[in-house]
Structure 1
Amino acid sequence: MARAVAEALEGDTPLLVEAGTGTGKSFAYLVPAVLRAVHHGERVVVSTATLALQRQILTKDLPAVAGALEGALPRRAEVALLKGWHNYACKHKVSGGYPDEAPTLFEVEAPAEHPGADADEGLGAQVVRVREWVGTTETGDRDELVPGVSDRAWRQVSVTKMDCIGQRCPMLAECFPERAKNAAREADVVVTNHAMLGIAASGSPGVLPEHDALVVDEAHELTSRSRSAATAELSGPSVERMSRMVRRHAGVLVPELEECGARLAAAIIAVPAGRLPDGLTPALQEVVTLLAAACREALSLTKPSGGGAKDGGDGGLQMARSALTLGVEIADRLLSDNVAQRRDVLWCDERSDGSKRLFVAPLEVAGLVAENLFTDHSVVLTSATLRIGGQFTPAAHDVGLHDASAYRELEVPAPFDYARQAIRYVASSLPAPAAGGGGPEALAEIVALLEASRGGCLGLFSSRRAAERAAEHVRETTDLPVMCQGEDSIGELVRAFREDPEASLFGTLSLWQGVDVAGLTNRLVIIDRIPFPRPDDPVVQARSEVAAKRGANAFLAVSAAHAALLLAQGAGRLIRSTSDRGVVAILDSRISTARYGSFLLRSLPPMWPTTNGEIARSALRRLAEEATQVPAAADA
């Protein structure tokens, strides 16, 4: 892999590498990347999807590589970390240069807690603590604040790039994100994340420093992150907040803008939830047109040079103008022919409280990724699960590489003997699972497997309801400890699972990827059902229509491909080292009875297959005995 990466960095042919868990793929791309960057003066950007891998690269892998290559380099490699603007504290905001925390234009009802945040610590205490930390930190990087704080508390000390007053800031010389950006401009290797790549792919390439090569780890996440970055939202409450922001911080009253929030809310509430394949309704068309004009008028009136607005580097004014600019961009996008031309997907989403919002997202991001990320760069894409159905073609098409001769592909198998280390058990006798979780037969199968293994189970479920239902049933019918996602932070749940050989952990999507628990404490992985996307998902519907028009099998190209990727990620949670052993139990009988089952199975590690439940349970009983003997042996 290292040789293939080195060749890719020297040329202009993209390389796709599937490198299984345990291959050391980060070393395989970092060694040639560092050599190329230092010897040839060509900056390399390395992007990851998860915070855990980003930390691993920065704190462990890159220092190890730099040390190992010290004798082969004329100087030590310079490394920099680059994140989005809002991940850094803003000293100007802390010193009073911005108004107190105001809701963002599209604030969610209940902001998610940052990993590590103390759920028992009140907002006021968090704000005091984070402000004190800003006075001592060298980087201002949120992830260096331990314990973390909630999103709401963090907004008290941070701003987005759009809200930043830039060169007018009186504390520009001390600006944390500017320091990070300047360091990235001078570094040999820049480590960033897929969210930044998504912003660059959406048409803002300036968020990344000038570079010659791009290495994308966890590349299976690139298209979804790029689509998320290009997705826009509009609602009545968001426009009302924008109006208040303009009135409060810019001192400007635009009557048409004041009216738009209520009119938009009324027009949206009349629209049924779901996809709007024909674009805006006449009522929405009228109010969005008015919104675009009102935002442009407000922008004209709030120019810092005059028009009745405040002058100078006022943070509140900048926040108001940023919201107006975003409003214009979203309105113009909704009024364009992108939906009619099937370039964008538009849908109405209904919340649990009955309120509704409009969303618009690109149908495909392949062109954006290929044009804005790959053009004029050497490119390496790698992941433990890059092939779908045993082929690289779907992943290549997703990033705009449609010609097989235009890229190279390489499979680097994991150093595991899957057929000896793991059993893949498909419960083919179970009825097909119903929506919302398995029936009584599936719950009985879960209990039988857990009793045989005496815990040590990572349960991967298709919905939170299914996970909670299964956890409740296991607690009622056994004496085994079971934790469920939502009962604590993911980090704490995984730590407790790792430390207790009889504990089990049930959850949803957050556990399907990124959980790394080696050893017999993780000897059973249960997958309750094939993780197909929701059939009413607007983007899935639109992509399926396009695939069908191209003559492809729409189900295999979109829904089955999505499921295959997640199945591979989920099954990959079991074997994490050469000494690991265990069982992956799939409780969805369709994988052995449906025609698409073989396509899905080709994406999974080559574990020893069986549909005999007693074989799986017997193996788990033996592993349970070993797991309970390990502490005793250690004490002796």
Structure 2
Amino acid sequence: AHGAGRARDAESALGAEVLALRAWVEEQARAHALADRDDAPAHSGRAWAQVSIGSRECPGARCPFHDECFAETARARAREADLVITNHALLAIDAMNRSGVLPEYDAVIIDEAHELTDRVTGAASEELTPRQVERVARRGSDWLDDDASLALLDAADALRGALEDTGTGRVGAAHGGLVEAVGTVRDAARRAAGRLGRSGSRSQVEPERIAVAAAASEVFETAERMAALADADVVWVGEHERLGRWLTVAPLSVAGLLRAAVLSRATTVLTSATLTLGGSFETMAGRVGLRADERLGEDEEAPRAEPRDDPDARLPWRGVDVGSPFDYARQGILYTAAHLDRPGRDGIGEDALGQIVELVRAAGGHTLGLFSSRRAAETAAAHARRELPGPPVLCQGEAQLPELARRFAAEPGTSLFGTMSLWQGIDVPGDTCRLVIIDRIPFPRPDDPLVQARQQAAARAGGNGFMQVAASHAALLLAQGAGRLIRSVDDRGVVAILDPRLVRARYGPYLRRSLPPFWTTTDLARTIGALRRLSGSA
């Protein structure tokens, strides 16, 4: 009964998300605006799947809703435009599929280019769930015979059972039962796609049949890719408390894809405030495919990147640091809590919580707290509320992020604590933010299968897997997080990093070179004094 209740709660939450998305789309249609998912109400991937279809499922000009389709309208406008502004994901889809999603272009400028490889990795990744296979069977029941429908349902059951018998983590040849189940899904989906793809009634277009055939083909292609266990891919089992287990496949690297399908296609300019890691452009150049000699073995099997370039080629490139209008050494202090204990797995420690209270009190609020987990943010927010009277401490998850950011900027002395979406997604110049607190160095999860695979590949190639993958990931996020402090030439304040490894560990200098050149100290009393003076002068 308890499990049934959780399922009902999950379905209720999903339904609410779908209704919110539908209302938003209708509002966009009334305003004759082009809706972009980035501007949609907060929603899960499952909710989006209920109101959208993939490009392969789209019937195109044969769809009865073609003339009012947002995507078709956007494509038509793009074909007539001299300048197209889009996002990383659409650029990635265009590069992967060579499908003409974007018009031909002579040059591309990629802003926030530090996010490019993660966005392309996401676009080149696929998921497979038993419910996805079952959905194809249900949608295709009008056109499939009983044998084909039953084969899909049996394959979904086989996949569900194999997932339950397999632990979370990376899938390899040793997981024979799961690989066999994925092969069963592949064969059933191939059979269904073939039957659904046959011509239907000649007297009318059947857009639903076309869409279901495309969905079956997508399941087949994903299962085929997963069953192959190619060296260029990483396959793993994930688990969600409400949604159960599923399979994901992602490319080991996207450097070859980017080099072949984007960088060698047209003049490309990549811009960002955080393209230098460890004081050099070299790490980022390797990630995006400009330095083939630092690849992780990706090029020979780069997924759907045609035509391929020479995998050993080096594209000519130039890195230019154009400087900053900010005088970081005069405008900001970087405080590192060198005398705290190293962060552990049990959450944020009492000593760190004590320093948070001291720092926030000295700053008079005006604090952006960036935490490595939701649990740490909630613990710190609860402790600060108990110890600090006065302006509120907001915590991510208590309201929608845009509302929290609005209150943080509008209500004097307010503090905002949160997790990863705040590290890069908030811009509050002025006196709103005098103090940025970072609870720990943001290394990726050590049990993340993709991170593990990339580190192992770097080590096999003779590199240092930890430095090339985990440390560079942490350096990028630290630079982004610390960059929340100084947003204008008049801003002043402190970035406080409560992780002593920044000054104690052997990789500390690499991380510090990735940060803005603040005046640095490990003296808490001096830092508290600076914040009090800043608070008093304000």
TM-score by length of 1: 0.75
| Contact 1:243–1:257 (CA under 8 A) maintained in structure 2 | yes
From 219, 239, 246, the equivalent of 1:327 is 219
SS in structure 1 at match of 2:237: strand
Partner of 2:210: 318
Q: 1:236 Cα deviation (Å)?
A: 2.0
- Higher mean C-alpha displacement, 463-472 vs 499-508: 499-508
Distance 1:411 1:160 in 2: 39
Deviation at 1:315, TM superposition (A): 3.9
1:423-434 correspondence to structure 2 within 5 Å: 423-434=333-344
Quote the residue 2:166 is aligned against.
Answer: 271
Aligned partners of 2:106 and 2:315: how far apart in 1?
22
Say whether 1:229 aligns with 2:123. Answer: yes
1:376: how far off?
A: 2.8
Q: Equivalent of 1:139, from 33, 36, 39? A: 33
Give the structure 2 partner of residue 388 of structure 1: 277
The amino acid across from 1:606 in the alignment is P
CA contact (8 A) 1:194 1:222 kept: yes
Partner Cα separation in structure 2 for residue 537 and residue 462 of structure 1: 15
Q: Which residue of 1 aligns with 2:197?
A: 303
Distance 2:12 2:95 in 1: 26
Assess if the C-alpha contact under 8 Å between 1:497 and 1:505 holds in 2.
Answer: yes
C-alpha contact (below 8 Å) 1:387/1:603 kept by paired residues = yes
1:139 maps to a residue whose letter is A
User: Is 1:551–2:462 an aligned residue pair?
Assistant: yes
Alpha-carbon contact 1:252-1:302 (below 8 Å) kept: no
Whole-angstrom distance in 2 between the partners of 1:375 and 1:433:
43
Return the alpha-carbon distance in structure 2 between the equivalents of residues 327 and 128 of structure 1: 26
Identity among equivalent positions (%) equals 46
Q: Closer, same or farther in 2 for the Cα pair 1:565/1:144, shift >3 Å?
A: closer
Q: Secondary structure at the match of 1:391?
A: coil
Paired residues for 1:296-375 under 5 Å: 296-303=190-197, 305-306=199-200, 312-338=204-230, 342-353=231-242, 355-375=244-264
Kindly provide the amino acid, as one letter, of the partner of residue 317 in structure 1: R
- Secondary structure of the residue aligned to 1:202 is helix
Displacement of 1:257: 1.1
| SS of equivalent to 1:189 | coil
**Within 5 A, what are the aligned runs for 1:181-580?**
181-247=75-141, 250=143, 252-253=145-146, 254=148, 255-276=150-171, 278-279=172-173, 281-303=175-197, 305-306=199-200, 312-338=204-230, 342-353=231-242, 355-402=244-291, 406-480=316-390, 481-580=392-491
Partner SS, residue 269 of structure 2: strand
SS of 1:383 mapped into structure 2: coil
Give the CA deviation at 1:173. 3.8
Higher relative contact order, chain-length normalized (CA < 8 Å, sep 6+): 1
Q: Pick one of 624, 627, 631 that aligns with 2:535.
A: 624
Q: In structure 1, how many angstroms separate the alpha carbons of the residues matched to 2:38 and 2:126?
A: 30
**Structure 1 position 174, deviation (Å):** 4.0
Q: 1:229 to 1:153 in 2, by over 3 A?
A: closer
TM-aligned CA deviation for residue 171 of structure 1: 4.3
CA distance in structure 1 between the aligned counterparts of 2:116 and 2:91, rounded to whole angstroms:
8
Shift, 1:127, TM fit: 7.1
CA shift for structure 1 position 185: 1.5
TM-score by length of 2: 0.88
1:422-443 deviation digits (Å, cap 9, x = unpaired): 0100010111111253210000
Counterpart of 1:588?
Answer: 499
Please list every run of 5 or more consecutive structure 1 residues that lacks an aligned counterpart in the other structure. Answer: 1-107, 114-120, 628-636
8 Å CA contact 1:304–1:311 kept in 2: the answer is: no
What whole-Å deviation, never above 9, does each CA across 1:136-176 have from its counterpart, x for those lacking one? 3323425798x958578877765432332112124434443
1:614 aligns with 525
1:326-353: CA deviation from partner (whole Å, max 9, x where unpaired): 1111111022251xxx211111112225
**Cα deviation, residue 373, structure 1:** 1.2
Partner of 2:3: none
1:126–1:153 CA contact under 8 A, matched in 2: no
Query: What is the CA–CA distance in structure 1 between the aligned matches of 2:419 and 2:472, rounded to whole Å?
Result: 19
Query: Which residue matches 2:310?
Result: none
Residue 265 of structure 1, CA deviation: 0.6
Q: Is contact 2:62–2:207 with CA below 8 Å preserved after alignment?
A: no
Number of residue equivalences: 505
Deviation at 1:478, TM superposition (A): 1.4
- Alpha-carbon distance between aligned partners in 1 of 2:160 and 2:51, rounded to the nearest angstrom: 31
Letter in 2 for 1:289: G
SS at 1:486's partner residue?
A: coil
